A and B are shown apart, each in its own frame.
Chain A
Amino acid sequence: MLKIENLVSHYKTIEALHGISLSVGSDEIVALIGSNGAGKTTLLNSISGHVTKSGLIEFNGTDISNMPAHRIARCGLLQVPEGRHVFPGLIVEENLFVGTTAITGIRLLAGNQKEKLDMVFSLFPRLEERRTQLAWSLSGGEQQMLAISRALMGNPKLLMLDEPSMGLAPKVIEELFGKIVEINRLGTPVLLVEQNAKLALSVSARAYILERGNITLEGPSEELISDERVREAYLGKRKSKNQ
């Protein structure tokens, strides 16, 4: 589905990613874990075309490494940016309709649009209750749901989520991750960037660990969760010295 080879990203003259290779299969959740400043968001922004980069990015067999951001989105590679970027001055419904822009070819017919809307509302019933409300008046969790739903309106072939748990209450996070698994089960692969390593590893099939712009570890999540190095660095379990 998505294949990245030797990706190098720059901010002006500073090199932020030093040759990343990564792949996402056609129906899996892949987690990308790392601490602050490791380059997780840079990696997603590079894939979606917001950061200057070199290297190969192949999506669905087409080379997207030189495309502008909006064309990448129209290919079906949709990113939910970090920090709940909803459109505060639009109501929930309008926010969702903006999402259908990403669909290429013939414009969505009104009925088709309604179908998509129903699909999203059945996934997040809370949004249906709030459909005429301006997006700024939603709670943090609802805004995150809206941001994800908006991406779903665009028929994503691959969904990239950037820190969906940021700033949310544990209970809301739990609910949200349940929905992410459900979205995946309905047939959309997900590339999940998360600081909360335990949570990300528990929902994903495979994971990559990013440190200072390099991938240091990769493998099935189940193996990583029991890996000593991961436990030490990300899961908060200290190796006892006199073991």
Chain B
Amino acid sequence: MMKGTRKGNLITGRYMITLTCITIAGCFLPLVLSSYMLRVMNIALISYMCVLSVYVLLGMCGQNSFAQAGFWGVGAYITANCLLKLNLGPIVSMIIAIAGTALFAFVLGFAFFRLKQYYFTFATIGLMTIFNGLFMNWKEVTGGALGISGIPPFAIFSFEFSNETSKFFLIIFCAFVVTFLMKILFNSSLGRQFMAIRDNELAAGCMGINPLLTKSKAFAIGGALCGLGGALYAYLSGYLSFQVFTYNQSTMYLIMIMLGGTINPIGALIGTMIISLLQEFVRPLQNYMQLIYGVGIMLLMIVQPEGILGGIKALYGKYNERKTLRRSEA
């Protein structure tokens, strides 16, 4: 592909093949990984869904949010409450968590997107703080500092996803579906509207796009992804504590997508996997982790501002250029 070009909607085929290959390869992981590493993998895949929400907001719509871990928490607490207090089925609870979080984000979006760009980002930092305060203190719903325990695993009819491997297959299936939906969103009219707003909000308004409504839709889609992540997290761990859904986690999502690249969901996947595995393998260096992130991010911004995927694409472009050059010389 030449520099500065992109095949429009035609690329779906190649994307699907890549996605299917990654998923099939992923399905063999339970054979090689210990159950501890599988748990790490599960949490990484859940993070991936939250990172996808950042991809929709930042990568497609150009809006930076620090509240995604909060929405993740909202999804998780909705699931727990539906299961334990309302005695609903696991599938229904999950759907309510997704829809509820999306609706919640949509309404909040209408208020928050009256602020533009940086002001919106600052407002979401405030939102995250409020979320955290709520999770910690609203005893009736979140269990306060004690958290909620005893959440049953996900089940379809009588089949329970109770061991680590079956949970892994559930989560990887959800990740596959969500990633596929991302591509549909990217090629849809709504996706183009998101990107139009990212590129030039004034011109988007001139073309009849309602910026407030469209950005709220992006926020809602992000909310739905976080809601799904939250529901899966509740089923995975069986125990929810306010200490998980923190501002630090939100920043981590941003770091993950910056590392992988905001071009497409595969970038989000690469970033999430690298950071999640890094956290495991350099556990002895835990005390220096923040320093490593800090310096790493700075280096990344200098050397490869478009992330790892951006770097790969640039290399591929150069390789192609050289190939055509050689062909024309011959």
Contacts and interface: CB of A to CB of B under 8 A. Distances in A.
A85 interface: yes
A90 B209 CA distance: 16
B214 to A, nearest CB: 9
A153 B200 CA distance: 18
A73 B207 contact: yes
A101 B4 contact: no
A190 interface: no
Given A80-B206, A86-B200, A86-B203, A101 B189 contact: yes
A210 to B, nearest CB: 21
A85 B206 contact: yes
Interface string A75-115: 00011110001111111011001111111000100000000
B153 interface: no
Contacts, number: 93
Contacts of A85: 200, 202-203, 206
A58 B4 CA distance: 42
A48 B4 contact: no
A191 to B, nearest CB: 14
A134 B203 contact: no
Interface residue range, chain B: 20 to 34
B210 interface: yes
B205 A154 contact: no
Given A87-B199, A97-B189, A132 B5 contact: yes
A73 B5 contact: no
A28 B189 CA distance: 33
Contact of A98 (B4, B192, B202, B210): B192
A39 B132 CA distance: 49
Interface string B168-181: 00000000000000
A185 interface: no
B14 interface: no
Interface string A190-233: 00000000000000000000000000000000000000000000
Interface string A143-156: 00001001100100
B57 interface: no
A35 interface: no
A173 interface: no
A134 B193 contact: no
Given A70-B211, A98-B193, A133-B4, A87 B203 contact: yes
B38 interface: no
B203 A132 contact: no
Contacts of A137: 3-5
A188 B208 CA distance: 18
A50 interface: yes
A147 B196 CA distance: 13
Contacts of A91: 5-6, 8
Nearest to B190: A101
Contacts of A147: 203
B139 to A, nearest CB: 43
Given A87-B195, A132-B6, A98 B200 contact: no
A87 B209 CA distance: 13
B204 interface: yes
B299 to A, nearest CB: 25
Interface string A138-182: 000000000100110010000000000000000000000000000
A150 B6 contact: no
A99 B207 CA distance: 6
A85 B199 CA distance: 9
A73 B206 contact: yes
Contacts of B39: none
B208 A74 contact: yes
A68 interface: yes
B7 interface: yes
A222 to B, nearest CB: 32
Given A88-B200, A133-B4, 19 more contacts: A48-B206, A69-B205, A70-B209, A71-B208, A81-B203, A85-B200, A85-B202, A85-B203, A86-B203, A90-B195, A91-B5, A94-B195, A97-B192, A98-B192, A98-B204, A107-B189, A132-B7, A134-B6, A150-B207
Interface of B: 3-8, 189, 192-193, 195-196, 198-200, 202-211
